[in-house]
């Protein structure tokens, strides 16, 4: 499947969630079996097989779980505050207006585990950077991150690269 064909499967919803935003909706990509399969195959071919995939809530779970299955590796869930049972470790991070928190099980990664961070989209990079910091704080090696969509004008991929994380994004949408 070509880049143009994959790109056509991502629906753009203007003025959502507020005026001036062009929301890139991957649910239409998920509806297309061939497109979803091609996306996972491309992500699988983007680098060496990690020990674990870390998927960011919620759409990162979809792509992360499919990719973990395809690569035959485990999956770590990076969730919003108070969503995981048992002992967790977490990190607070800044949003445009306020703060949020991302957590994982305290025993989810072992020191030295090679972890690939996965999400559907990289925009400003705040959540992805928090995920990298959380995983590294637990001793994981996080050198790569993979996304279906990049909004390069918002700088998230560049921020991850500055933190020593190689970024793979299948599709870029300029001007957003």
Work out the percent of the chain whose per-residue pLDDT is above 70: 99
**So what's the pLDDT on residue 85?**
96
In a domain, 161, yes or no: yes
Over the stretch 83-134, which tens digit does the pLDDT of each residue have?
A: 999 999 999 998 777 899 999 999 999 999 999 999 999 999 999 999 999 9
- Cα(98)–Cα(10) distance, rounded to whole angstroms? 29
In a domain, 42, yes or no: no
Query: Residue 152: how many CB atoms within 10 A of its CB?
Result: 16
**So what's the pLDDT on residue 176?**
56
85 burial class (0-12, 13-18, 19+ CB within 10 angstroms)? exposed
Q: How many domains does the chain have?
A: 1
Contact 75, 52 (CB under 8 A): yes
Which CATH number characterizes residue 124's domain? 3.40.50.2020
In a domain, 31, yes or no: no
Q: Look up the pTM and report it.
A: 0.96
In a domain, 22, yes or no: no
Contact residues for 85 (Cβ-Cβ < 8 A; gap 6+): none
In a domain, 28, yes or no: no
What positions carry a catalytic annotation?
Answer: 59, 96
In a domain, 41, yes or no: no
- Cα(7)–Cα(79) distance, rounded to whole angstroms? 28
Contact residues for 33 (Cβ-Cβ < 8 A; gap 6+): none
Which residues of the chain are under the pLDDT cut of 50?
Answer: none
In a domain, 164, yes or no: yes
Give the structural domain span for 156: 48-172
Average pLDDT, the chain: 96
**So what's the pLDDT on residue 98?**
82
In a domain, 75, yes or no: yes
């Amino acid at each position: 499947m070509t880049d143009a064909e994959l790109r056509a499967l991502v629906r753009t919803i203007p003025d959502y969630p507020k005026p001036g935003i062009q929301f890139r909706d991957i649910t239409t990509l998920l509806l297309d079996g061939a497109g979803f399969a091609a996306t996972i195959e491309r992500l699988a071919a983007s680098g060496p097989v990690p020990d674990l995939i870390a998927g960011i809530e919620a759409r990162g779970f979809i792509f992360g779980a499919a990719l973990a299955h395809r690569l035959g590796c485990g999956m770590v869930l990076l969730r919003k505050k108070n969503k995981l049972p048992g002992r967790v470790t977490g990190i607070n991070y800044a949003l445009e207006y306020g703060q949020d928190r991302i957590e994982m099980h305290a025993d989810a990664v072992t020191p030295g585990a090679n972890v690939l961070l996965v999400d559907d989209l990289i925009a400003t990079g705040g959540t992805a950077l928090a995920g990298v910091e959380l995983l590294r704080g637990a001793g994981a090696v996080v050198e790569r991150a993979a996304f279906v969509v990049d909004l390069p004008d918002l700088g998230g991929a560049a921020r991850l690269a500055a933190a020593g994380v190689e970024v793979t994004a299948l599709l870029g949408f300029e001007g957003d």
